[in-house]
Structure 1
Amino acid sequence: MLHNCTLYIDADACPVTREALSCARRARVSVVIVGNTTQNLERHVRRDDPRDAGNARGRDATHPGFWAETLDVSCGSDSADFAIVERLQPNDVVVTQDIGLASMVLGRGAAAIGVRGRVYTKATIDMDLFIRHEEKKVRRAGGRTRGPAAFTDEDRARFTRNLDELLRQGGEEPGDVRGA
């Protein structure tokens, strides 16, 4: 890892929280799991995981820098998104299914990765937002749009591979991370 970054997990309906935590442990970066108060975010954290930076440094040589924190937010629309954005630093990494949050993350100089392993980039985020907007217009007019494909083991493997690479690069936009 080139820079000291934090991994934020938008945990509302996130199917890869366990994989994201494993990647963070390997990369020795801190993690903040963010979700609404109706979830039990603590279930994702191991009992022996350090819970703050002070304990991470003194724990042992295999885990310096890794620690996990949970952040409960209200159930309001986009509460988790705004809680993440207000804490972001350049080169942090955010796991999210939300293209709107991904756009805000990129605007703050951080990196965003989707749960299927797609790394969002500044070069493509405007088109992603446009497509989302057009699909929303179709649905509001009573039309139907195609939903996402079933989540697969290949998606999970791509996510893990690409998140490992992002964390190795310290949250900087990668040159060779394969999208979904």
Structure 2
Amino acid sequence: MKPTVFIDADACPVTSEALAVARAYKVPVVIAGNSTQNLTRHVRRGDPRLPTDGFWVDTLAVGVGADAADFAIVQELSQDDIVVTQDIGLAAMALGRGARAIGVRGRIYTLATIDLDMHIRHEEKKVRRQGGRTRGPAPFEEDDRERFTANLRRLVEESLRDAENRS
């Protein structure tokens, strides 16, 4: 079975790039986000919307609420699937399900580093709760987009290879 690319569409600046990679490798995509978003805006008119043996794209609209899309994605994940997200918590849950996770700037999350990522997120949240400030992300640049595309291609190739080896 081919891996699926799940896109956490909440403020995702690389949805078009993820769809382009999925089209090139003929793997399915699910775009997940809250129901107030126009999740289909990146879908091309000719993109298949029903499951096939190759590329198709579906949307998964969830209710408005913290982490609603994250939990909906995790519930659908299978081994070798890929999650595109800015959310470290979702990345950790995806890794725990045997899936792969990549950030929108092209960072590939791994089991070896996710605990430290979660710890840093927790500590920064504590600082903010106490009224302190933490440094925000750097501006999103073209280099980030290129790194994301290259690393997503690599993850898709690995996932396809691993899925094939299990068949």
TM-score norm. by structure 2 comes to: 0.94
Structure 1 residue corresponding to 2:20, chosen from 10, 18, 22: 22
Determine the structure 1 residue equivalent to 2:137: 148
Aligned Cα RMSD in Å?
A: 1.3
SS of 1:42's equivalent?
coil
Does the C-alpha gap of structure 1 residues 92 and 132 become closer, same or farther in structure 2, counting only changes over 3 Å? same
Shift of 1:171: 6.5
Number of residue pairs aligned between Structure 1 and Structure 2: 162
Shift of 1:172: 7.8
Determine the structure 2 residue equivalent to 1:163: 152
Identity, in percent, stands at 65
Determine the structure 2 residue equivalent to 1:113: 102
| 1:10/1:94 contact within 8 Å kept | yes
Shift of 1:170: 1.1
Consecutive unaligned residues of structure 1, counting only runs of 5 or more, are: 58-64, 174-180
Matches within 5 A, 1:19-58: 19-53=17-51, 56-57=52-53
Shift of 1:92: 0.2
| 1:49/1:67 contact within 8 Å kept | yes
Structure 1 runs of 4+ aligned residues shifted over 2 Å read: none
Matches within 5 A, 1:98-109: 98-109=87-98
Does the C-alpha gap of structure 1 residues 132 and 172 become closer, same or farther in structure 2, counting only changes over 3 Å? farther
Counterpart of 2:23, as a letter, is R
| 1:14/1:96 contact within 8 Å kept | yes
Tell me how far apart the structure 1 counterparts of residues 160 and 104 of structure 2 sit (CA, whole Å).
16
SS of 1:44's equivalent?
coil
Matches within 5 A, 1:92-103: 92-103=81-92
| 1:166/1:172 contact within 8 Å kept | no
TM-score norm. by structure 1 comes to: 0.87
